[in-house]
Amino acid sequence: MTETWKSDRIGSARAGTNPTLLAKLPQSFAVMGDTQFLPGYCVLLVDDPSIDRLTDLPKRQRLEFLDSMDTLGQAVEAACRATDAGFRRMNYEILGNTDAYLHAHLFPRYEWERSEHVGRPVWLYDPDEFYGPEAALAPRHDELRRRIVSSLLVDGESV
């Protein structure tokens, strides 16, 4: 399978060809992270690629985007809590340093993380661990994905 969708994540989500798509939420698309070094990692993509930063959205739409981030975070937390007794908390980050469109990273954090990672940003993980082939989104994450989508559907959202 080619991965051309990665060059236009928002466009491919709009077209229904982004294989990481979980759900369409207000002002956004919820997607699984390409990497699952922390199982359950998700990204909330703004649904309009011309939106570069949170403040580009009018106040009402900004609040909808943030509410969608909260909705996705609750779904990820419920799924991770149900599948891993080591689930500890959720980290939410809107950075905007690399991709020129608004997006939020939602990282579950776990008790089983090595001590040098606890209390530190996930971006300090070794890139080989963060992006290595063993961390890639794969069929072994299907149950976690199913639980996240199921939780989102309970909240009345749909793919």
C-beta separation of 26 from 65 below 8 A: yes
| Distance from the Cα of residue 57 to its chain's centroid | 20
Domain 19-152 has CATH 3.30.420.40: no
Tokens of 116: 């040098």
Does residue 119 surpass a pLDDT of 90? no
Domain limits, the chain:
19-152
| SS3 track for the chain | CCCHHHHHHHHHHHHCCCCCEEEEECCEEEEECCECCCCCCEEEEECCCCCCCHHHCCHHHHHHHHHHHHHHHHHHHHHHHHHCCCEEEEEEECCCCCCCCCEEEEEEEECCCCCCCCCCCHHHCCHHHHHCHHHECCHHHHHHHHHHHHHHHHCCCEC
Q: Global pTM?
A: 0.93
Task: Report the pLDDT averaged over residues 94-117.
Answer: 93
Is residue 81 within 8 A of residue 143, CB to CB? The reply is no
User: pLDDT tens digit string along 44-96?
Assistant: 999 999 999 999 999 999 999 999 999 999 999 999 999 999 999 999 999 98
pLDDT tens string 24-38:
999 999 999 999 999
